[in-house]
Structure 1
Amino acid sequence: MGKPLKVGIIGCGAIIAQYLTNFRRLDQIQLVAVADLDPARAQAVADDYDGVRAVSVEELLAADDIDLVLNLTIPAAHADVALKAIAAGKSVYGEKPLAATTEEARQVLDAARQAGVVVGCAPDTVLGTGIQTARKAIDDGLIGAAISASATMVTPGHERWHPNPDFYYQPGGGPLLDMGPYYVTALVTLLGPVVSVIGAASHTRNERTIGSGPRQGETVPVTIDSHVTGILVHASGALSTLFMSFDAVKSKSPNIEIHGERGSLVVPDPNHFDGDVQLFSLGAQDWETLPASAGYIDSGRGFGIADLASTPRGKEPRAGGTLAYHVLEVMESVLKAAHSGMTVSIQSTVERPEGVPLTALAEQAEAIQRR
């Protein structure tokens, strides 16, 4: 009660650096231990972070001084690690997606419910001022009833910069399951849950060449769809179009646009926490940049865990497992629709997470003291 959440991290790959930077700023979180299949990577983190010990995965799961496991393993291992943490009586916060499949994700949520622990999941980018300001604009009626949205993510592939990109091109990877969580989570946050989808998918190359690091020049096989298009039908009646590609080169389209009866919004990159929200109102002469009016100010990866720490017991955290499950089912269903040529109904649903008031770091820290 009122104490920092004690966290252990499993997986010390590239993404951990962003979490460590923000953990140093978040009084709600105390990093206790780190583990990795490569002990040297875990030791490097411990050497650079005061008070943190490097241990084996087994030792971390058995540790009595860890409340929550941050699961930064590759997508194929997300469910296995989460289930082991839950079995050890610990809450879990995972990198996206929640699991490689909805079947595995359901096992995680069911196990957590039975154990009485909490599941959270990235992306927490939707808690920043960018998406939250756009959400408040919609909730305040600035665009009237929402009609449609478009979400566009184009890159020629992560192998150009990532030294170990294999998992991006294996089941659980691909542009939709890798980058789609940012976009679909943002769309659900803005427009509400999805009830059905249609889709189409393709890929242009059977292998990719690593462009940096010690494995530069090595090729990796592509076993997933690397270009995916989908249409999401929201329960509200709004229609969202997804365009996710590891094949195309570049796009000038906004990352997300929302269109309503009385106006349109340009929403900033959902892979970032901030950015300008632009509004074009019916009858206006030009776009208007809205001031930041909601969300955690100056936030970054790890703020979802701090939000979880300040969430009252028994209440779903904003970056919670139920939302992550719904997003995963939507993405999985787009791929099913693409291969079947049929509309796929979404079986799960979720309440739009409660909006985040405009909140500075100090105010967020105070929330855990009141928990």
Structure 2
Amino acid sequence: MGEPLRIGIVGLGTISAQYLQTLDKLGSVELVAAADLNPALATGVAEQRPGVRACTVEELLADENVDLVLNLTIPAAHADIALRAIAAGKAVYGEKPLALNVAEAIEVLNAATEAEVLVGCAPDTVLGTGIQTARKAIDDNLVGRPIAATATMVVPGHERWHPNPDFYYQPGGGPLLDMGPYYVTALTTLLGPVTSVIGVASRTRSIRTIGSGPRAGQSFPVDIDTHVTGVLTHASGVLSTVVMSFDAVGTRSSNIEIHGEVGTLAVPDPNHFEGDVQLRTLESKEWRTLPVSAGYLDASRGVGIADLAATPTGESPRAGAALAFHVLDIMESLLHATRTGQAEAIRSTVDRPAAVPLQAIG
């Protein structure tokens, strides 16, 4: 009791820097091991942090001093590393998505249930003050009964800035699977689970050209749809319209808007932990910024691990596997609906995650 959760990190790519900064300031967790296919990366992390051991993935998974495996591998390896960690009796927290597809994710959930270990998954941005202040406004009835929501992410394409953008335009990529987890997780946190989806999709170009880096000027094929529009029907009856695009220049729409009978909320970017929440009501034509009233203060990527560590026995973490699975199920079903032209029932459900009171991360 009271001892920190001992973390072993697998995968030390670009995103790991943000996680390491968070782990360094959390008192409730302790980094003890690091592994990567490139041993030099693990050695670099260990040299900068006393008490951290550089090792192979196999050594880390077998290490009895590791309580939780932080899985920051590429998406194609998420399920494999999670399953191996669970088989070793360790809890897991991973980057999004939980797995490449629902079938793989089911294996992870079943293994975790059988082994009685916790599994958490990004995005944990929904635990920050931006989404949680909006959540409190909804719970406090500031907009009345929610009726509808919009979620909009419009960019001209990652090839303009990413030096190796090909994978964004292959199966498993695209605007919905890339950025959708942030938006759909936020919508579920704010409005509860989804019961059905319908949607359409398109692609404007079959060839894209890299705009920066050593491959600038090279062209590559587009093998997926790059603009997805869907309608999510929540169990509460709320209708959320989602627009995810790699095809357009930009938008002046709020990232997320929640429309209720007596008010509308403008919700900040769910890819960030903070941001202004604005409210307009029937009684006022002016938008007003709500005071920060809920969520983890000064949160950053990895706060979901601290939240998992503080989860009471028998309860699901807020950024847990059940929520990540439901979000993956929604996105996979929506993409299927764009191909069939038919509404798709969502097979999974999840309890709306518990709200986060205003607090510092531990």
TM-score by length of 1: 0.94
Task: Name the residue aligned to 2:78.
Answer: 78
Task: Work out whether 1:52 is the aligned partner of 2:49.
Answer: no
76-85 or 135-144, larger mean C-alpha shift: 76-85
Q: Which amino acid aligns with 2:237?
A: G
- Aligned counterpart, 2:331: 331
Distance 1:7 1:215 in 2: 37
Paired residue for 1:368? none
Looking at structure 2, the residues matched to 116 and 259 of structure 1 have their Cα atoms a distance apart, in angstroms, of: 40
Instruction: Compute the displacement of 1:283 (Å).
Output: 1.9
For residues 12-37 of structure 1, give each alpha carbon's deviation from its aligned partner in whole angstroms, at most 9, with x where no partner exists: 11111111111111111111122222
Distance in 1 between residues matched to 2:115 and 2:338, nearest whole Å: 37
Moved more, 43-52 or 300-309: 43-52
* Matched position secondary structure for 1:274: coil
Change (3 A) 1:53 1:170: farther
Residue 20 of structure 1: aligned partner: 20
2:126 paired residue number: 126
Q: Secondary structure at the match of 1:199?
A: strand
SS at structure 1 position matched to 2:123: coil
1:171 aligns with 2:168: no
Q: How many residues align?
A: 362
Q: Which residue of 2 aligns with 1:281?
A: 281
CA shift, 1:322, in A, is 0.3
CA–CA distance in structure 1, aligned partners of residues 40 and 177 of structure 2: 29
Range 242-251 or range 266-275, more displaced:
242-251
Structure 1 residue 40: Cα displacement: 2.5
Mapping of 1:134-283 within 5 angstroms? 134-283=134-283
User: What is the alpha-carbon root mean square deviation over aligned residues?
Assistant: 1.5
| 8 A Cα contact 1:200 1:228, kept in partner | yes
Counterpart contact for 1:198–1:337, Cα < 8 Å: yes
Q: SS state of the match for residue 97, structure 1?
A: coil
- 1:77 Cα offset (Å): 1.4
Moved more, 315-324 or 200-209: 200-209
| Equivalent position SS for 2:7 | strand
C-alpha spacing 1:218/1:11, structure 2 compared with 1 (3 Å): farther
Distance (Å, rounded) in 1 between the aligned partners of 2:211 and 2:9 = 28
Greater mean alpha carbon deviation, residues 158-167 or residues 342-351 = 158-167
Structure 1 residue 75: Cα displacement: 1.4
**Distance (Å, rounded) in 1 between the aligned partners of 2:358 and 2:207:** 45
Residue 117 of structure 1 pairs with residue 135 of structure 2: no
Encode CA deviations 1:87-121: one digit per residue, 9 max, x unaligned: 11111111111111011001000001101111100
Q: Name 1:352's counterpart in structure 2.
A: 352
Distance (Å, rounded) in 2 between the aligned partners of 1:138 and 1:46: 44
- What is the alpha-carbon distance in structure 2 between the residues aligned to residue 221 and residue 49 of structure 1? 43
Unaligned runs of 5+ in 1: 366-371
Deviation at 1:241, TM superposition (A): 0.4
SS for the counterpart of 1:130 is helix
Greater mean alpha carbon deviation, residues 29-38 or residues 166-175: 166-175
Rounded to whole Å, the distance in 2 between the matches of 1:95 and 1:285 is: 41
Pairwise CA distance, 1:218 = 4.8
Structure 1 residues 210 and 12: alpha-carbon distance in aligned structure 2, compared to 1, 3 A threshold: farther
Deviation at 1:217, TM superposition (A): 4.7
Q: Deviations over 1:205-234 (max 9, x none)?
A: 334444444555555543332211110000
Partner of 2:5: 5
> Counterpart amino acid of 1:189?
T
Q: Alpha-carbon deviation of 1:65?
A: 1.0
Which residue of structure 1 aligns with residue 32 of structure 2?
32
1:101 & 1:217 partners in 2: Cα distance?
A: 33
Would you say the 8 A contact 1:76–1:172 is kept in 2?
A: no
Preserved contact between residue 76 and residue 171 of structure 1 (Cα < 8 Å)? no
Separation in structure 2 between the aligned mates of residue 191 and residue 178 of structure 1, nearest angstrom: 22
Please state how far the C-alpha of 1:352 moved relative to its aligned partner: 0.5
- Aligned mates of 2:92, 2:237 — CA distance in 1: 34
TM-score by length of 2: 0.96
Instruction: Report the 3-state secondary structure (helix = DSSP H, G, I; strand = E; otherwise coil) of the residue aligned with 1:24.
Output: helix
Query: CA 1:67–1:162 in 2, change beyond 3 Å: closer, same or farther?
Result: farther
Question: 2-side partners of 1:224 and 1:239: how far apart?
Answer: 26
CA distance in 1, matches of 2:59, 2:35: 9
Q: Which shows bigger deviation, 197-206 or 226-235?
A: 197-206
Larger mean Cα displacement after TM superposition, 213-222 or 108-117: 213-222
Deviates more, 1:153-162 or 1:175-184: 153-162
Please, which runs of 5 or more residues in structure 2 have no aligned partner? none
